[in-house]
Structure 1
Amino acid sequence: MKANRFLAALAALAATAALSLATAATAHGAGDNVKPNFSHAIPNIPGKTLTAVEVTYPPGGASQPHTHAKSAFIYAYVVSGAIESKVDDGPARVYKAGESFYEQPGQHHGVSRNASKTEPAKLLAVFVVDSSETTLTTPDK
């Protein structure tokens, strides 16, 4: 009986994670590729999930201005190319491959784009988010 409840809870968590990963792409342009990388409940922090997505921008590609889930702390690592990012009223900054940045919960992401017009760029975004949050990214209206 306990095993069945555990499997049901695990299936529900997987469904929530899949929905969260699917909604991560809503602020991205048609040429952007947002690919699920990893999602798992954090066992020693009840109610929190770690979710990672790979965002690949084509040359000149950009996301729409957006916010993330209200509970989301985000660590971003530039895998290749260069990404320009601007959060809240902070300055726009270009991060090159091997560099990283973070976003605090509730911050507005006004600029997230490939800094190059000729080369693609890839970013790994890692979210620590309330497990109940099903939308990771919401574009501005």
Structure 2
Amino acid sequence: MKINPLMVATALVFATPAVADDIHETVATNLAHAIPNLPGKSLVAVEVNYPPGGSSRPHHHAKSAFIYAYVVSGTIESQVEGEPARTYRAGESFFETPGAHHVLGRNVSATEPAKLLAVFVVDTADKELTTPDR
């Protein structure tokens, strides 16, 4: 399998160590592939695993990234800047528009894990899919 720089960039962004007393998600790339009939675009699917009580740090997504998110298991609360926070359960889905500022992502349960599949349609040249807030 050929290593895609987009996969490497995604892994590096999400592999940031957790801050003391914070429990954060882990992210694994499941698929990264150029879309043949959309030159310059790629499809990247990542699995986001939230441990009990786990959360995501606030972050921005790539300016080109349209994201479809599907809750595989558990219950996840999510919020994009300018919109109300919403709770999604296993089997439910939502989307985020290009350049979205994701201000909240967390596992609602303190005892059960939660899993999300996020599918990005993104410019192939984009090096980072997600940039944590500083």
Query: Given the two structures, how large is their TM-score scaled by the length of structure 2?
Result: 0.89
May I ask how many residue pairs the two structures share in their alignment? 130
Aligned to 2:48: 55
Residue of structure 2 equivalent to 1:123: 116
SS in 1 for 2:12: helix
Pick aligned residue for 2:12 from 23, 27, 38:
23
Q: 2:96 aligns with which of 96, 103, 114?
A: 103
Alpha-carbon separation, structure 2, partners of 1:136 and 1:32? 16
Distance in structure 2 (CA, Å) of the matches to 1:17 and 1:66: 17
Does the CA contact (< 8 Å) of 1:70 and 1:105 recur in 2? yes
Q: Give the gaps of 5 or more residues in structure 2.
A: none
Range that drifts further, 24-33 or 62-71:
24-33
2:76 counterpart (65, 70, 83): 83
Distance, in Å, in 1 between the alignment partners of 2:12 and 2:65 is: 14
> Bigger radius of gyration, 1 or 2?
1
Give the match for residue 32 of structure 2.
39
Q: Which has the higher helix share?
A: 1
CA distance in 2, matches of 1:110, 1:74: 15
Q: Do 1:27 and 1:65's aligned partners in 2 also have CA atoms closer than 8 Å? A: no
Give RMSD over aligned pairs: 1.8
1:81-131 CA-partner distances (Å, limit 9, x unpaired): 011000111110000000000000011100011011111000000000000
State percent identity of aligned pairs. 59
Q: Provide TM-score, normalisation by structure 1.
A: 0.85
> Match for 2:82: what amino acid?
D
Q: Distance in 1 between matches of 2:118 and 2:69?
A: 4
Instruction: Give the secondary-structure state (helix, strand or coil) at the position aligned to 2:4.
Output: helix
Question: What's the offset of the Cα at 1:22?
Answer: 1.4
